Amino acid sequence: MGSAVYLDYNASAPIRPEAAAALSEALGLAGNASSVHGFGRALRHRIETARKAAAALVGAAPAQVIFTSGGTEANNLALRGDWARVLVSAGEHDSARQAVPEAEMIRLGPDGVLRLDSLDQALAAQGGPALVSVMLANNETGVIQPIARIAELVHGAGALLHCDAVQAAGKIPVDMAALGADLLSLSAHKLGGPQGVGALVVREGIDLPALLRGGGQERRRRAGTENAAGIAGFGAAAEAASRDLDKAAGLAALRDALEAQVRALAPEAKIFGAEAPRLANTSCLTMPGVAAETQVVALDLAGVAVSAGAACSSGKVTVSHVLQAMGAAPDEAATAIRVSFGWRSAPADVEHFIAAWSELYRRAGRGRSAA
């Protein structure tokens, strides 16, 4: 049974109607976008329209966009280039942390923000052309990194910067040039597009070897027949998300109302990353003494869908590496869940959440139920 209240947008956002329409329209077309006949050209047109929309979302030129199978592939394509050294922040998504096993880690502070002294130190070490990978916004806590400042340090040391903007795009304005990012990852399903499609946006002049070799698609940077329908859906979602950026910022009202009520019910509850700039839609909060998995199951039974730590790895019960990197005690981190809002969220969702959360807290012998 599906949950009535969906508060897990950072895991995957429900598809936007515009994206579903573009996807299904393109799915109905015959052909291969590489073919020169009319059928092929019709699909090519859908892909190039989407390329413009994805580029516009991050202030880039369409020719900079390489469509991929998602954020994971985009991160792998960026990190597994010809780099003598790869440095990643300790809070990166597993698709960046694990892309290069020998990558060096840069530390986070207790607020979830990258430690610039740790970056400086790592950059000072010699070892050839380096790539540094730091995400714009964290998927678990929503903490936003000072990418423009990080880019200055990275470029000052002669290195290049990859920015995983998978969670940020469509939630906050993203301008690749203003950020100073040389490479930037996107994923359609985090902004209301279909799953299984994303992009790596590459600054002009960067020579990046293809991960997938074969045909000449995507200017020889990513072989394989394009997922034309998925890409069309991505483009429509990117356009809608760009248009709705104000609404995305307005989600702070829901998030703040939820956090205020949790704090009133349980003053000892911890909200990770609350001291740093954060995405408006994300809250990573603890229910003291109650395991995250227990909370997720109980909230699901009450019709509220949230996740424990990173949803991508929530099948396994491991303490979040992000919270660990912020210095959280394992016991406390194990009681943290992530609530994330999005384009279809409404104030009633907060009421449902608080009713279910407070009831569980009361049953756990901890608090009083909400009035």
CA distances from 287 to 26, 238, 305 (A): 45, 35, 16
Query: How does 354-368 read in b/e, with b if 16+ C-beta sit within 10 Å?
Result: bebbbbbbeebebbe
Contact positions with ligand PLP (CB under 6 A) in 46-65: none
Tell whether residue 139 is a contact of ligand PLP (CB under 6 A): yes
Q: How many helices (H) and strands (E) does the chain have?
A: 15, 12
Member of 16, 33, 60, 71 binding ligand PLP (CB under 6 A): 71
* Part of the chain binding ligand PLP (CB under 6 A), chosen from 71-79, 126-134, 289-297, 343-351: 71-79
Closest CB to ligand PLP among residues 131, 290: 131
CA distances from 204 to 19, 63, 163, 309 (A): 28, 9, 15, 36
Smallest distance from ligand PLP to CB 224, Å = 16
What amino acid is encoded at 134 in this protein? V
Member of 64, 76, 89, 95 binding ligand PLP (CB under 6 A): 95
* Part of the chain binding ligand PLP (CB under 6 A), chosen from 16-24, 66-74, 110-118, 225-233: 66-74
Q: With CB under 6 A, what is the number of residues at the site for ligand PLP?
A: 14
Closest CB to ligand PLP among residues 95, 141: 95
* Part of the chain binding ligand PLP (CB under 6 A), chosen from 164-172, 202-210, 341-349, 361-369: 164-172
Smallest distance from ligand PLP to CB 369, Å = 33
What amino acid is encoded at 229 in this protein? A
Member of 18, 164, 226, 349 binding ligand PLP (CB under 6 A): 164
**Annotated active-site positions, please?**
312
Smallest distance from ligand PLP to CB 202, Å = 17
Determine contact, residues 173/140, Cβ cutoff 8 Å. Answer: no
Tell whether residue 320 is a contact of ligand PLP (CB under 6 A): no
What amino acid is encoded at 296 in this protein? V
Q: Crossing angle of helices 17-27/38-57, nearest 10°? A: 160
* Part of the chain binding ligand PLP (CB under 6 A), chosen from 159-167, 232-240, 295-303, 320-328: 159-167
Smallest distance from ligand PLP to CB 92, Å = 7
Member of 166, 191, 199, 306 binding ligand PLP (CB under 6 A): 166
Strands (E), 125-213: 130-133, 160-164, 183-187, 198-202
Closest CB to ligand PLP among residues 89, 139: 139
d(CA 336, CA 320): 9
Contact positions with ligand PLP (CB under 6 A) in 175-204: 187, 198
Smallest distance from ligand PLP to CB 197, Å = 8
Closest CB to ligand PLP among residues 60, 166: 166
For residue 95, give both structure tokens: 């698709």
CA angle in degrees (0–180, nearest 5) for 230-162-209: 70
The rounded Cα 39 to chain-centroid distance in angstroms is 34
Member of 70, 112, 194, 235 binding ligand PLP (CB under 6 A): 70
Smallest distance from ligand PLP to CB 119, Å = 19
Smallest distance from ligand PLP to CB 89, Å = 11
Look at residues 222, 238, 200 and name the one whose alpha carbon lies nearest to residue 54.
238
Long-range contacts of 29-35 (CB under 8 A, 24+ apart): 29/228, 32/225, 33/225, 33/226, 33/228, 34/215, 34/216, 34/217, 34/225
Site string (271-310) toward ligand PLP, x via CB under 6 A = ----------------------------------------
Half-sphere exposure of 243 (CA within 13 A, CB side): 11
Determine contact, residues 198/165, Cβ cutoff 8 Å. Answer: no
d(CA 126, CA 123): 8
In the complex, the residues that contact ligand PLP under the rule CB under 6 A are: 70-72, 75, 93, 95, 135, 139, 164, 166-167, 187, 198, 312
